[in-house]
Amino acid sequence: MGAPTPDAHKPDMPAKQVTLTYYDGHSRTVYDTDVERAYPDGKLIVSRTDLNGVITHVNDAFVEISGYDIDELIGQQHYILRHPDMPKAAYTDLWQTAASGQKWHGYVKNLCKDGSHYWVYATVVPNIRRGETVGYTSVRRKPSRSKIDAAMTQYAQMKQNEEG
C-alpha cells in the first residue's frame, strides 16, 4: 500500500466539498469546482499501477492535466483522482475485468488537484510477465463530447441507484 492520500486543498473559487470513502476504508475530503479541463489534443494520458492500484508510473501528459507534482502521484492509490460524480460500480467493473486478465474500456471523469476535472476514454490492461499479472496499465484517449454526455447521464443514474 502507498502512504495515506492527504486531503485536497480548498480551492480559491466556489467548490462543493465532498467526503469520499474509498474501497480500502480510507476517507478523504475533496473539492469539486465543476470546471472542466480540456483533454490535450494528440496526447495519450498513461499510468501504471501495481496489483493494489498504487501508482508506479505516469507520463508527462498525466502529470500536467492532474495538477499534481509527480512526487505527489507516485506511490499513491490511483483513487487520488476519483471524482465524486463517478459511480462505484464503474470501478468494480474495471477491477473485476482487469483482475480476471481482460481489457477494460470506459469513460472516466477524473478530479484534478485544484478541484477541476477532465474526461477520458480509458483502456486498462493487465501487465503480464512470465504468465503472471504484475500490475496494470491505463492508456487514455480523448473522448467525443457526445460520449461524455451519454456517460454523464448513465453515471448520474448509476449513482442514484447506489445511493438509493
Ligand X SMILES: Cc1cc2nc3c(=O)[nH]c(=O)nc-3n(C[C@H](O)[C@H](O)[C@H](O)COP(=O)(O)O)c2cc1C
Parallel/antiparallel/unpaired status of strands 45-49 and 55-58: antiparallel
C-alpha closest to that of 139 among 127, 118, 124: 124
Judged by CB, which is closer to ligand X: 22, or 74? 22
Nearer to ligand X by Cβ, of 12 and 109: the residue is 109
Q: Which stretch binds ligand X (CB under 6 A): 8-16, 63-71, 134-142, 152-160?
A: 134-142
How many Å apart are CA 164 and CA 161, to the nearest integer?
Answer: 5
91 in contact with ligand X (CB under 6 A): yes
Helix (H) / strand (E) element for 99: namely: helix 88-99
> Any contact of residue 110 with ligand X (CB under 6 A)?
yes
- Do the Cβ atoms of 72 and 56 come closer than 8 Å? no
Binds ligand X by CB under 6 A, chosen from 65, 81, 112, 151: 81
Q: Is position 53 an interface residue for ligand X (rule: CB under 6 A)?
A: yes
22 sits near ligand X (criterion: CB under 6 A): yes
- Candidates 119, 121, 136, 155: give the one binding ligand X (CB under 6 A): 136
Is 148 a binding residue for ligand X by CB under 6 A? The answer is no
In this structure, the number of other CB atoms found within 10 A of the CB of residue 145 comes to 8
3-state SS record for 110-161:
EECCCCCEEEEEEEEEEEEECCEEEEEEEEEECCCHHHHHHHHHHHHHHHHH
Min CB(10)–ligand X separation in Å: 21
* Chain residues that interact with ligand X, rule: CB under 6 A: 22-23, 47, 49, 53, 78-79, 81-82, 88, 91, 94, 98, 108, 110, 124, 136-138
